[in-house]
């Protein structure tokens, strides 16, 4: 078995783990944010933990992308830029805008996120830096890139707009939760999660790669159960919560 074949085998195993683990973890909402509990051991400041665990992804991706021997073309540099664009927002801008002073998250949650981001960053960075094809500039006019880029930008817009609504629910000094309204919140409880799923579905399409597809699968495996938990929490917490809303897919789920 060649190194490339071994690499592909590891990616397939990684995808399989998503289908095995998801039914188990979906029974318990990850204990951070509104689902926080002290039962999971030592905690860390929520903002600091978020920044640390999210920065691991672009750092790992960039490291393995740059150290790989595959020819770097303008297209693959663009792929790197897309990854850094998302994580520049997710790891730095988003947490600094959060009004979460005094909130904590379990160190175990941060550690599990770091583990995932290391594996995911390695698989995608190693593929594009070492095992992937030499993406010619003509790739930019092919349907996978055009459609995938459109999806990525759409997802990013949905994600950022939904985050903006959530971030402005609290006035300075407030710590409680309110019912979000406007945008896709008219139909679903977690459009920010839907946006992120669309983003990585688009990335998988525009790179046409197995590791990127594994990222989309893991994103869905993580965010769909969490969206369902959020939706159930909203229903139980607010008597006037809109009954026509779904959790993450308008009119469906």
Whether residue 13 is contained in a domain is answered as no
Task: Give the residue-averaged pLDDT of 113-142.
Answer: 96
Pair of tokens at residue 17: 């783990």
**Residue 33: is its pLDDT beyond 60?**
no
Say yes or no: 146 and 246 in one domain: yes
Domain count, the chain: 2
> What is the mean pLDDT of the segment spanning 131-140?
95
Three-class SS of residue 45? strand
Residue at token pair 């990616």: 11
Other residues' Cβ atoms within 10 Å of the Cβ of residue 164: 13
In a domain, 18, yes or no: no
pLDDT bucket at 239, cuts 50 / 70 / 90: confident
Specify whether 148 is located in the same domain as 128: no
Same domain, 133 and 189: no
Report how far residue 216's alpha carbon sits from residue 108's, in angstroms, rounded to the nearest whole number: 23
Domain membership flag for residue 33: no
Q: Which pLDDT score is estimated for 43?
A: 85
Give me the pLDDT at residue 40, please: 67
Domain of 175 in residue numbering reads as 142-253
Q: Are residues 248 and 149 in the same domain?
A: yes
0.85 surpassed by pTM: yes
Two tokens at 189?
């409880």
Tell me how far CA of residue 203 lies from CA of 5, 18, 79, 91, 214, in angstroms. 22, 18, 8, 18, 11
Q: Is residue 124 part of a domain?
A: yes
pLDDT in tens, 188-212: 999 999 999 999 999 999 999 999 9
**Mean pLDDT, range 66-76, rounded to an integer:** 95
In a domain, residue 34? The reply is no
């Amino acid at each position: 078995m060649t190194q490339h074949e071994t690499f592909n085998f590891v990616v397939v195993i990684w995808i399989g783990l998503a289908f095995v683990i998801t039914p188990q973890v979906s029974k318990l909402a990850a204990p951070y944010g509104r689902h926080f509990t002290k039962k999971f051991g030592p905690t860390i400041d929520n903002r600091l933990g978020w920044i640390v665990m999210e920065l691991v992804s672009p750092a790992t991706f960039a490291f393995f992308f740059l150290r790989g021997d595959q020819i770097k073309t303008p297209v693959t540099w663009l792929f790197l830029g897309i990854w850094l664009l998302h994580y520049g927002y997710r790891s730095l801008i988003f947490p600094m805008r959060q009004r979460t002073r005094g909130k904590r998250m379990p160190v175990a949650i941060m550690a599990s996120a770091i583990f995932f981001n290391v594996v995911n960053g390695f698989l995608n960075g190693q593929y594009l830096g070492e095992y992937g094809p030499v993406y010619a500039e003509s790739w930019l006019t092919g349907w996978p890139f055009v459609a995938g880029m459109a999806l990525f930008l759409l997802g990013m817009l949905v994600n950022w707009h939904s985050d903006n609504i959530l971030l402005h629910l609290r006035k300075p000094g407030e710590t409680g939760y309110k019912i979000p309204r406007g945008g896709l919140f008219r139909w679903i409880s977690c459009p920010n999660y839907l946006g992120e799923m669309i983003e990585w579905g688009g990335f998988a399409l525009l790179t046409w790669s197995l590791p990127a597809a594994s990222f989309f699968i893991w994103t869905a495996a993580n965010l769909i159960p969490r969206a369902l938990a959020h939706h159930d929490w909203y229903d139980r917490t607010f008597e006037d919560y809109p009954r026509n809303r779904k959790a993450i897919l308008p009119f469906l789920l």
